[in-house]
Amino acid sequence: MDRVLIEGLSVETVIGVYDWERTIRQRLELDLELATDIRPAAADDDLAQTLNYAAISERIGVFAETSRLELVETFAERLAAVLREEFGITWLRLTLRKPGAVANARAVGVSIERGER
């Protein structure tokens, strides 16, 4: 199976469990691997036959803009479900990082895989 990559996507959202976090927007960084067969798109040079990473990135931005979650785990799980449903993605790996959340760590986060390869 081929994979479409989106790496280092940065979005801002309200996320966190502390009261002060509920009043600000924080940056999250995402890396995604999305399973698809690129051969039809490559054969016809046709964007409609592959996963449109620009459209997917835009949808992630909208999701982040409207989310008001506490846990990065919840953000990752719900985002994965939205992407799989709306774009027909059979398998994905999503790595989500929250920079600066823990002193002396560049970032904290989760990495999940959903679906069948």
Catalytic residue IDs: 98
Residue 77's closest CA among 117, 36, 109?
Answer: 109
CA torsion sign for 107, 66, 31, 83 is: positive
The dihedrals phi and psi of 84, each to the nearest 5 degrees, come to -65, -40
DSSP collapsed to 3 states, 29-54: EEEEEEEECCHHHHHHCCHHHCCCHH
